[in-house]
Amino acid sequence: MNAEARTERRLLPMGIQTFSTLREEGYYYVDKTPLIQEMIRQGRFYSLSRPRRFGKSLLVSTLQELFEGNEPLFRGLDIHPHWDWSAQHPVVCLSFDGDVSTPESLEKNVLNQLYDIEQAHDLKSLPPVTSAPNRLRSILAHLHRATGRQVVVLVDEYDRPVLNVLEDGGKARINRDRLRNLYSILKGSEKHIRFVFVTGITMFSMTSFSSGLNNLTDISLSPRYAGICGYTERDLDTVFAPELEGLDRDRIRRWYNGYNWLGEERLYNPHDILHLFNEHEFQAHWFQSGGPGYLYRLLMEKKVSPMQLENCVVDADFVSKFDLDTFSSEALLFQSGYLTITEEEERGSYTLYHLDYPNFGVQSSFNMGLAEYLTGCGEEVATAGRDMVEALGANDFSLFREKIRKLLSGIPHSWHDSGDLGHYESWYASLLYMGFRTTRVEVKAEEASSHGRSDMVLLHEGQVFVLEFKMVKDKTEAEQGLDSAIKQIREKGYAEKYRGRGELVHLIGMVFGRKKRNLLEIRVEAL
């Protein structure tokens, strides 16, 4: 039972990342101290990766107050009767906010933080300012000797100085090396340290950030600690029960639930939930707080179609690490929170993860943003997606055809000519996919059958639509292309798995013209 479960309405902790503020000023708080206590009991050196605005900073603040022994803040929480409040430890807490874009500003930022720590602990006997790593080493040793207790080191947003300049490989590598030198101090100062906790968006990589700091336990994908950040279904039904009035519970799940780090439960991003409770509007609140412009550019550079992100299967080792020289777009999308694990699969000696969008809020916004980045017509693509789905639901295939033609006629020619996703069919398939993905229709891209992969399958209002795309030179080849598309659907058995479900199945062949750069014709057959 969550010790903080209440029935009265409290303040919503929107933007509050300080544990003392939450506890002293009457905000809602989801008690994470059982997991915190377990983590501290089991080990001493940890790293944790979670997407932005997922509660990492609040977790760091909670750890700081706990080790500093601020007992009143923890009254009523699970950990209170089990913690030794007399064992207070000095805490060194580093956070990389502010300007950290250049090596010089990064060094200055760290030195300023270390200076503040020296002043707070009255360390007047330290030698004159040297490099940040040497300064940190000196502080750890002096604090240990001065207090007689080992030091707790907390690092929030450890990777921000690299991620902020990821597009500039030179700057990113210099900042990485500066951080590597800083973090390596922790390994050499182990005798002075009681506990280390490092958080960031990307999973801590020894090769990227500190080959010397090899004693960190990464709990990012530990089922035991999967819920250490974020909200569970039970949290909403207990802690936030007063806020649920008037809100459709299933709709909340569809819009915001779904993040998974191999735990038993899927999680909610706190930012989404708190804004929903505050505004009572179903919007992609988390996504809108910071768009993934760099990720869109990365997908295009690596020629990754948005359709490839649908239930993609990746090697667990490859997606759960971050290295400037080898990282994949799927790894960064997963660690940034735009994709999540839907299934873990053991295949021989390999572990594979199936990745997909965590929820409708992320799915629709990501694809609308990608369409805007690619074409400059994101809203038009989303509107066309809704119109096309509505036409399919009504079995108005003439209207469906016209909506596609209208969408394609409004796309700038530069989009067709750039070729970033390959030629022809992949362009049109990707554009339609992005439009459909902004709606609530269930989309299956390149779904496997026993004889091949269909281009796209839509499930909507008890009907199944199996789409196959063909590209031809001009109208003289349209009929031949339609014959080929329908024949392929039938012979490859793309619709077979749906025939026994009792739903109406439509086979839709679609032919695009290479010269006209638009849809030439469609053909629909029902099974």
* Structure tokens belonging to residue 135: 């300064």
For residues 311 and 257, the model is more confident at 257
* The pLDDT value given to residue 3: 45
* The pLDDT value given to residue 38: 97
* The pLDDT value given to residue 425: 65
What average pLDDT does the segment 122-142 reach? 85
* The pLDDT value given to residue 450: 67
Average pLDDT, the chain: 90
* The pLDDT value given to residue 307: 85
* The pLDDT value given to residue 123: 85
**Distances from the Cα of 502 to the Cα of 85, 258, 497, 505, angstroms:** 64, 29, 11, 9
Kindly state the percentage of the chain with pLDDT values over 90: 66
Residue 55: closest CA among 230, 263, 268: 230
Structural domains in the chain plus CATH codes: 31-225 (3.40.50), 360-526 (no CATH)
pLDDT in tens, 30-63: 999 999 999 999 999 999 999 999 999 999 999 9
What average pLDDT does the segment 433-456 reach? 86
Q: Which helix (H) or strand (E) holds 478?
A: helix 478-492
Contacts of 184 (CB under 8 A, 6+ apart): 133, 210, 211, 212, 213
* The pLDDT value given to residue 342: 95
d(CA 287, CA 509): 35
With bands split at pLDDT 50, 70 and 90, how would you rate the model's confidence at 417? low
- Tokens 């809108």 appear where? 288
For the chain, what is the total number of helices (H) and then of strands (E)?
22, 17
What average pLDDT does the segment 176-190 reach? 90
What average pLDDT does the segment 264-288 reach? 96
Q: What is the pTM of this model?
A: 0.91
Is 126's pLDDT higher than 70?
no
d(CA 122, CA 142): 11
Is 174's pLDDT higher than 50?
yes
With bands split at pLDDT 50, 70 and 90, how would you rate the model's confidence at 420? very low
Kindly state the percentage of the chain with pLDDT values over 70: 93
Is 188's pLDDT higher than 70?
yes
Is 98's pLDDT higher than 90?
no
* The pLDDT value given to residue 362: 96
Is 91's pLDDT higher than 70?
yes
* The pLDDT value given to residue 452: 79
Q: What is the DSSP string of 54-118?
A: SSHHHHHHHHHHHHTT-GGGGTTSTTGGGS-TT----EEEEE--S--SSHHHHHHHHHHHHHHHH
pLDDT in tens, 505-519: 999 999 998 888 889
Contact at 8 Å (CB) between 255 and 359? Answer: yes
pLDDT in tens, 315-333: 998 887 777 777 788 888 9
Return the SS3 of 216.
coil
* The pLDDT value given to residue 421: 42
* The pLDDT value given to residue 52: 94
Q: How many residues does the chain have?
A: 527
What average pLDDT does the segment 115-136 reach? 84
pLDDT in tens, 199-238: 999 887 655 655 556 678 999 999 999 999 999 999 999 9
* The pLDDT value given to residue 324: 77
Neighbours of 203 (CB within 10 A): 21
Helix boundaries (H) for 302-359: 316-319, 329-336
AA identity, residue 202: T
* The pLDDT value given to residue 374: 84
Contact at 8 Å (CB) between 197 and 48? Answer: yes
d(CA 306, CA 359): 16
